[in-house]
Amino acid sequence: MLTFCEQWLAADGYDRLDPLSSIEYLIGCQRRFSSLLGTGIPDAFYSRSDLRLLLDSARDAATDRLLALCSDLEGTPGSTERKVLHAAAALKITPANAAQLVRDYDKAAVEFVDGTTSPLHVAAGAVGAEHAERVRVFLDAFPTTKQHTDDRGLTV
């Protein structure tokens, strides 16, 4: 029997997405549910408790899938929640979704002490149009890293 969240996601076509797209989709859902909860305006279809349930389910599913996919790609079993931001940077998720993960796992951003594998370094190795925005998200998340940047905002 499918849970409420699984039924909602299946109806939305989530099960047909590739692994990275499904993670992006789940984090996007999480942002939408948070936005609906934050407005204070009652939703026509879902109660506040339904939205909280969907939000928590989407967060948990995204975290599990993110860590599993990163473990598969890096060949390192047993990733923990402490490495969620590192996994997000390594998989090059969108800046908006990276910002959502930083909000969800703010302690991971503060407690991450290994500068050689910080998400900032992984994000800085990325290329493409979203490169600067992704790096900016992680720069803002890691305040101690900001102290060691050059005039271009890159770590030194």
116-141 tens-digit pLDDT: 556 666 666 666 656 777 777 777 77
Whether 152 is in a domain gets the answer no
More confident residue, 81 or 89: 89
Whether 64 is in a domain gets the answer yes
Q: Give residue 105's domain range.
A: 4-146
Whether 122 is in a domain gets the answer yes
Please compute Rg for the chain using Cα positions.
Answer: 17
Q: What is the pLDDT of residue 156?
A: 46
Distance between the two ends of the chain, CA-based, in angstroms?
53
Whether 151 is in a domain gets the answer no
Residue 29 pLDDT > 70: yes
Whether 153 is in a domain gets the answer no
Residue with tokens 């969800």: 104
Spatial separation of the C-alpha atoms in residues 136 and 88, rounded to whole Å: 14
Residue with tokens 């991450």: 112
Whether 53 is in a domain gets the answer yes
HSE-CB for 108 with a 13 A CA cutoff: 23
Domain count, the chain: 1
Mean pLDDT of 34-50: 77
Whether 155 is in a domain gets the answer no
Q: Buried (b) or exposed (e) across 92-127, using 16+ Cβ within 10 A? A: bbbbebbbbbbebbeebbeebeeeeebbbbbbbeee
